[in-house]
Amino acid sequence: MTEKKRKAHSVAAERKTARSRAIEIKDEKTLGALGPQLNRLLNAQPGLAAMLFINPVLAMQEAGVKFSRPVIHHILSRLRHRPAMRERREELEARLTEALCEVPRPGNSAWLSRTLFEKLHLQPLDTGGLTPSYKSAHDPAVEKRLQALRPKRTHRYSHLPSRPRRTGRVRMQEMPPLIRRLDLDAAVPELKPAKHTPKRLSLEDLYFYRDSSPVARDLLELAIIQRRGLHLHSRYSYRLIKEGKRGNVFRRWFRKVTLPEPEVKE
């Protein structure tokens, strides 16, 4: 057996036994050092490697990797947001944790209600029938410039009516506005006190408490940043997608993933 074949055989044997190896990662330094080994571990299970798109931590744990809680937080934090947004999110989380003496959970409507009305002692407001202000999905300046570039309408075929005849009606369901487009700079109207304290408070309602307390505004901004991040599935959703009981675009199009490995030197 030549030296090249021997090394190739050695790499193949390492891939074959990768599943039985236990890798424990307790800090970020170890995570960086074991990158090639993690890639070989996942390449030995290409179907499982495709689940990295669904939740990378759960996929690697299923492959036999053990992470400490700080490392899990580090991985998910870096994947969800870009550096500038991640820095702002961490700043808000630290400030809110210090002010509330607990980890902020703006996505939990019951927790929001308890925080605003029991901990911050804010006056409940009557928000019935009101809609928050949302930012446009497109940059207004860019949209205006593109509209100016559109060719003008011409009546090319003179024998046809200028307007098409109405042959039927098409109904389209309007998509609800996204939380991540809430406009934090728009003016909030003055509202009357509510007769009852709500047991749950949605993020749309939280919008109208934005000027009532700095904590309320920080909670709303944190919720917007969380909605702007990359969506990673929960353990329950991950299992359903892996078993084919729930559809997912990544799982539909990616059946096998191969990660880069260091080349074997001659």
Amino acid 261: pLDDT = 77
Amino acid 96: pLDDT = 97
Amino acid 32: pLDDT = 85
In a domain, 213, yes or no: yes
- Give the C-alpha separation, 199 to 144, whole Å: 44
Residues 43 and 127 in one domain: no
Q: How many domains is the chain built from? A: 2
* Beta-ladder partners of 206: none
Residues 118 and 70 in one domain: no
In a domain, 140, yes or no: no
Q: Are 136 and 143 in contact (CB under 8 A)?
A: yes
Q: Are 264 and 7 in contact (CB under 8 A)?
A: yes
Amino acid 114: pLDDT = 96
User: If DSSP codes are grouped into helix, strand and coil, which group holds residue 259?
Assistant: coil
- Give the C-alpha separation, 189 to 184, whole Å: 13
In a domain, 165, yes or no: no
Amino acid 118: pLDDT = 95
Amino acid 57: pLDDT = 92
Amino acid 98: pLDDT = 96
Reported as a single tens digit per residue, the pLDDT across 45-69 is: 888 888 888 999 999 999 889 999 9
Range of the domain at 237: 3-80+232-253
Neighbour-count burial of 191, counting CB atoms closer than 10 A to its CB (0-12 exposed, 13-18 middle, 19+ buried) = middle
Residues 15 and 64 in one domain: yes
Q: Which stretches of the chain drop beneath a pLDDT of 70?
A: 1-22, 155, 159-176, 262-266
Amino acid 14: pLDDT = 47
User: If DSSP codes are grouped into helix, strand and coil, which group holds residue 177?
Assistant: coil
* Beta-ladder partners of 156: none
**Unique residue bearing structure tokens 């990673």:** 232
* Nearest CA among 228, 227, 224, 198 for reference residue 210: 224
Residues 13 and 65 in one domain: yes
* Nearest CA among 221, 128, 212 for reference residue 183: 221
Residues 189 and 120 in one domain: yes
Query: Which stretches of 106-232 are DSSP H helices?
Result: 109-114, 140-149, 203-206, 214-228
Extract the tokens encoding 155: 């009546």
User: If DSSP codes are grouped into helix, strand and coil, which group holds residue 73?
Assistant: helix
Amino acid 11: pLDDT = 46
Residues 72 and 193 in one domain: no
Determine if the pTM surpasses 0.85: no
Reported as a single tens digit per residue, the pLDDT across 7-30 is: 555 545 544 544 445 688 998 888
